[in-house]
Amino acid sequence: MGALEVKELSKSFDGREILKDISLHVEEGEFVTILGPSGSGKSTLFQLIGGLLNPDHGAISLDDDNITGKRGFISYMPQQPALLPWRTVLDNVILGQELHGTKDKVKAKEMIQKAGLGGYEQAFPEELSGGMKQRVAFIRALLSPQSLICLDEPFSALDDFTRQEMHEWLLSIWSQYKRTILFVTHNIDEALFLSDRILVFSSNPAQIANEFVIPFSRPRKQELLLTEEFLKWKRKISSTIVQNGLGGESDE
Partner 1 sequence: MVKLLGTLWRKGWRPALVLLLLLTIWQVTVKVADVPTWLLPAPSVIVLEGWSNFGNFTHHLQSTIGLALTGFVIGCSVGLLVAILLHLLPGVREAVYPLLILSQNVPIIVLAPLLVIWFGFGVLPKIIIITLVCFFPITIAALGGFKNTPPEMKHYMLMAGANKLQLFSKLEWPNSLPALFSGLKIAATYSVMGAVISEWLGAKQGIGVYMTLASSSFRTDRVFVAIFIVMILSLLFFGVITLFEKLLIKGRRKGD
Choose among Mg ion, ligand ATP, partner 1, none what residue 138 binds, the Cβ cut-off being 5 to 8 Å by kind. none
Q: Are 113 and 144 in contact (CB under 8 A)?
A: no
**Span from 8-16, 93-101, 217-225, 229-237 in contact with partner 1 (CB under 8 A):** 93-101
Q: Rule CB under 8 A: is residue 15 a binding residue for partner 1?
A: no
Which of positions 26-45 make contact with its own copies (CB under 8 A)?
36-39
Among positions 57, 124, 178, 210, the unique one binding partner 1 when judged by CB under 8 A: 124
Helix (H/G/I), strand (E/B), else coil: 118: coil
Q: Are 79 and 43 in contact (CB under 8 A)?
A: yes
Among positions 84, 159, 238, 243, the unique one binding partner 1 when judged by CB under 8 A: 84
Return left, alpha or beta for 48; rule: phi > 0 is left, psi -120 to 50 is alpha, else beta: alpha
Buried b (16+ CB within 10 A) or exposed e, 176-197: eeebbbbbbbbbbbbbbbbbbb
Q: Rule CB under 8 A: is residue 75 a binding residue for partner 1?
A: yes
Cα atoms in the Cβ-side hemisphere of radius 13 Å centred on 73 = 23
Q: Rule CB under 8 A: is residue 250 a binding residue for its own copies?
A: yes
- What residues line the site for its own copies (CB under 8 A)? 36-39, 79, 116-119, 129-132, 156-165, 186-189, 222, 226, 228, 231, 234-235, 238, 241, 246-252
